[in-house]
Amino acid sequence: MDAAASLRRGLAELGLPAGDAQIETLLEWLHLLQQWNRACNLTAVTKLRDMIPRLVLNSAAAAPHLRGRDILDVGSGAGIPGIVLAVLAPERRYTLLDGNGKKTRFLEHCRISLALDNVTVVRHRAETWTPDAAFDTIISRAFAALPAFTAATRHLGRPGALWLALKGRVPAAEFRAMQHNRAKCDIKCSSRPLKIPGAASPASLVSIEIQP
């Protein structure tokens, strides 16, 4: 099965059927990632057959759980999950935030090359960034442990915002650490397993809601 067919099938298994243009855009992003990775070391996943489940489908699995129109991808790196989500759910607006200059240059190149008009790239540390407007969903993959993720980004969420963290196994120790924050605010934290087509490793999505 070629890459396009594998990607199309995987997205369909996730309940996310994609058009030809979306498949083409996602594959072009992966090719750009392979090219830039030789010089910039953006990801340890280098083979296309591994990139599809581990980078694209893992990111895509979060799409049904997004809330609102304005989405922030924190520590976006190579655009995971932000670029994937921007292609698959183009009705939303995405801000890809990263403090690393090499990574934001790659993200900006992708934004232009892939004509992603719903994407904005920002180079800044999350802890000290003050955007013009807050976000409905704040998502990350491999950015930080849950307590650090929410602490660094709490000021970036609108009232009623949702925090999503793509993880491997359910992080029990991180869940326990989140309980210590309940003295200061009301935190609702839950997780769900994700069945990623073609992936050998477990995956989960953690959802967090914070009320003052």
What pTM value is reported for the model?
Answer: 0.94
Residue 212 has pLDDT above 90, yes or no: no
Omega before residue 81 within 30° of 0, cis: yes
CATH, domain range 3-211? 3.40.50.150
Q: What is the pLDDT of residues 93-148, one digit of tens each?
A: 999 999 999 999 999 999 999 999 999 999 999 999 999 999 999 999 988 899 99
- At position 118, the amino acid (one-letter code) is N
The neighbour count for residue 1, using CB atoms within 10 Å, is 9
Domain ranges of the chain: 3-211
Q: What is the pLDDT of residues 37-77, one digit of tens each?
A: 988 889 999 999 999 999 999 999 999 999 999 999 999 99
- Compute the distance between CA of residue 152 and CA of residue 18 in angstroms, rounded to an integer: 34
What separation in angstroms does the CA of 98 have from each of 7, 67, 80, 160, 189? 27, 21, 11, 24, 25
User: Could you report how far apart the first and last alpha carbons of the chain are, in Å?
Assistant: 50
Structure tokens of 141?
């993959």
Q: Half-sphere exposure of 96 toward its Cβ, with a 13 Å CA cutoff? A: 28
